[in-house]
Amino acid sequence: MLPNARKRGRGNGDGSFPGGSAKEIYDVGTDATNLQEFSKMEGKREEALASTVGRDYTAPHYKYHDDPYLIPSSNIGKRTFALSKESGRKAAQWIRQEHSKLFQHRHADPPIEAFYPRPVYDENSEVTEDTLKKVIGDVSVSDAITVYQLLEKKGEVLSESTKQSFLELLCYYNGDDALPEDLIEERWFRQGTRARERQRKTWKDNGVAETVFRSIEPSTSAAYCALLQGMTRHYQVDRAWQLFEEMNHKGVPLTTEAYNSLIRVTSYLREGVEQRWRLIEELLVAMAKQGLQPNVGTLNSALETVSTMGLQRQAKTYALRTLAEFRKLGVEPSLASYYFLLNTFCKERGPTSSILVDIMSHINGRSFTIQDPKDTFFFVTAMDLCRNHLHDKDLAWSVDALLHTGNNYDLIGDSYKESIYYRNLFALLCSTEPFEVFMEFYNKMVPNIYIPEPGIMEEVLRAVDLNGAMDQFPRLWSDMVIFDHTDRENLITDILAGMVRNQPPSEDLTAKFAKVAWDIWTKLEAQDQERYRQLRCTGPILGDVMILCLRAGDFPKASMVLRKLDKEQHKVLGVPKLAALQLLLETCIANKDVTNAIWCMQYCTDAGFPEAGQLAQLLKDGVELTDSQVTELANIVGSEVMLEKETASIAAL
């Protein structure tokens, strides 16, 4: 039922509606203006309701199934889940398109066009100028090109406004179909990559766009500006400059957006710093002579070019001068403006700059809307500078507070930028905040908002070890299992070494440590030998597993580790620490287990430990050995070593 009809009442029971017939009410409800007004009202109402509810950090994103067994808990799992779900939608759309004859039923009233197959245009299609206008409005570039070519073959004369709209579509998308707006996840995971791909010439020379431009007679200022902006957008800068000179020669006026596009590619047109700045000034003067008012796009284009001038001192002067002049004109900077300032002042090999502090004092607590595609680069860059350039945790908290002000989180960009943002924030807080404060933040954000990368998890493990927070090791191991980090040798080494160094006072925690160690052992034994990425079996890892098992009183498991060390010496990289073997030997002596003790001595000798003789004497003094066992021990460490140790003991008496 339509919104306006629903508001009229329930009806009279005879099929009629109070206040008019059903047809009259239906006509009112389907009026485009009324529907638009209703949509605006509903949108404002939803925004107001949403503003009263804060973010639930304990819940996963709504796009995942509400089932703990189906919610992905690793970065690759989240990406795979989201893109797989979207891939299923694309497959369904493909089936609907390929078998469109099966989907001609129309149950929705009024009809919802997005639910129906897209029309296919070929040489037999009956098309008109209205058809071309429709596909242009739908941003269907390939269909628009096909319809245009069909109209050209038929000799149809198109209006100049339609040609202009078609030209603008071609120039913006360079003749390629855009990613559909409903594929949100694909945009989320591909945006960063696509932005990097555009930093090269991709303009299609002598393509359909230039053909349409030549067909517009006489050539208008709008047509020239559209082609100029398309060439600069897709980095055909040489021909764009030629087109600009042609416009000047013919006296064709430019728009503000056309000037902005030229200023943005100034670094491709001039080599030196001074030459680039001079060209920017010339273009700005030309705008003033033409009576054009610069906007935030003009400011960002100039600052972007200045930010590419390297470590030159003039670049900072030019940037501040530009910002001051535009503020006098009443042009308020966007987040992209501040991003370009950060790039200008905070170079990797340059001196330390505190300009971010000044920027934050100016914009703190403000809510921003998107005004430039580069607005999404501000937060990730600011947090990177807080960590690597300034090492300032208070400033990092300010940036994070700004990100969560109003709808600013919409400007985080894509999944890649979001991941880098939290990576820098976690690394900075881990090294600067008190451990309790950091773990409180960790528990809040992980895993629903952010899943730490292996590098961040390594820093967290070291912080736990440094602060003696041994009770966190079992929890972090559980996180490592969930996040698919258990094949990282450095993480396994760090968590085992941390548990060995921090001997817990309680038996319960000691047992948990032993369980973690045995989980690692089980993974080592069960891993697929054909897997590309394998966890290497090293002596230090096995030695730490042995120590943790012995501390928990699990001597049989420690003996299994010893047998692996002895029988698979050619597979195990390195040797365990002497402390692990000595603890095992002492446990063997306490248990009167001579067989495993001699086995341990055999491994110590094979591994080349110079302390093997001392351990042999320890065994001989701690357990009553038979003559055959003494002989076997002497054969392992050498009779002269045994004799030397025995003589030293007598001399000590």
Q: pLDDT digits over 458-489, tens only? A: 999 999 999 999 999 999 999 999 998 999 99
Residue of 521, 592, 589, 503 lying closest to 558 (CA atoms) = 521
Question: Residue 282: which residues within 8 A CB-CB, separation 6 or more?
Answer: none
Q: Which helix (DSSP H) or strand (DSSP E) does residue 135 occupy?
A: helix 129-137
Q: Measure the CA–CA gap between 371 and 362, rounded to whole angstroms.
A: 18
Residue labelled with tokens 């001392």: 614
20-29, 115-124, 143-152, 442-451: lowest mean pLDDT where? Answer: 20-29
Does the pLDDT of residue 22 top 50, yes or no?
no
What is the spatial distance between Cα 371 and Cα 405, in angstroms, rounded to a whole number? 17
Distance between CA atoms of residues 564 and 542, nearest Å: 9
| Nearest residue to 383 via CA among 328, 347, 425 | 425
Residues 324-351 pLDDT 10s? 999 999 999 999 999 999 999 998 888 8
Has residue 246 got a pLDDT over 80?
A: yes
Provide Rg for the chain, Cα atoms.
36
Identify the weakest region by mean pLDDT among 8-22, 111-125, 437-451: 8-22
Local structure of 84: helix, strand or coil: helix
User: Using an 8 Å Cβ cutoff, are 295 and 331 in contact?
Assistant: yes
- CA 416 to chain centroid, in Å, comes to 2
Quote the CA–CA distance of 640 and 174 in Å, as a whole number: 85
Give me the numbers of helices (H) and strands (E) for the chain, helices first please: 33, 0
**CA dist 453 to 68, 74, 428, Å?**
21, 9, 14
Percentage above 70 pLDDT, the chain: 88
- Distance separating alpha carbons of residues 390 and 532, to the nearest angstrom: 39
pLDDT computed for residue 416 by the predictor? 86
Confidence at 529, pLDDT banded by 50, 70, 90: low
pLDDT value of position 39: 65
Q: CB within 8 A of 334, min separation 6: which ones?
A: 296, 300, 368, 371, 372, 375
- Please state, in angstroms and rounded to a whole number, the distance separating the CA atoms of residues 516 and 221: 72
- Which tokens in the block code for residue 538? 């090293």
For residue 531, the model assigns a pLDDT of 63
Element (H, E) at 237: helix 237-250
Mean pLDDT over the full length of the chain: 86
Task: Work out the number of other CB atoms within 10 angstroms of the CB of residue 506.
Answer: 10
If DSSP codes are grouped into helix, strand and coil, which group holds residue 244? helix
Q: Is the pLDDT of residue 652 over 80?
A: no
- Residue 21 reports pLDDT greater than 60: no
3-state secondary structure at position 538: strand
Global confidence as pTM: 0.85
Lowest mean pLDDT among 84-98, 277-291, 318-332, 499-513: 84-98
Q: Concatenated DSSP letters for 30-42? A: T-HHHHHHHHHHH
Greatest mean pLDDT range, 87-101, 510-524, 587-601: 510-524
Residues with Cβ within 8 Å of 112's Cβ and at least 6 positions away in sequence, in order, are: none
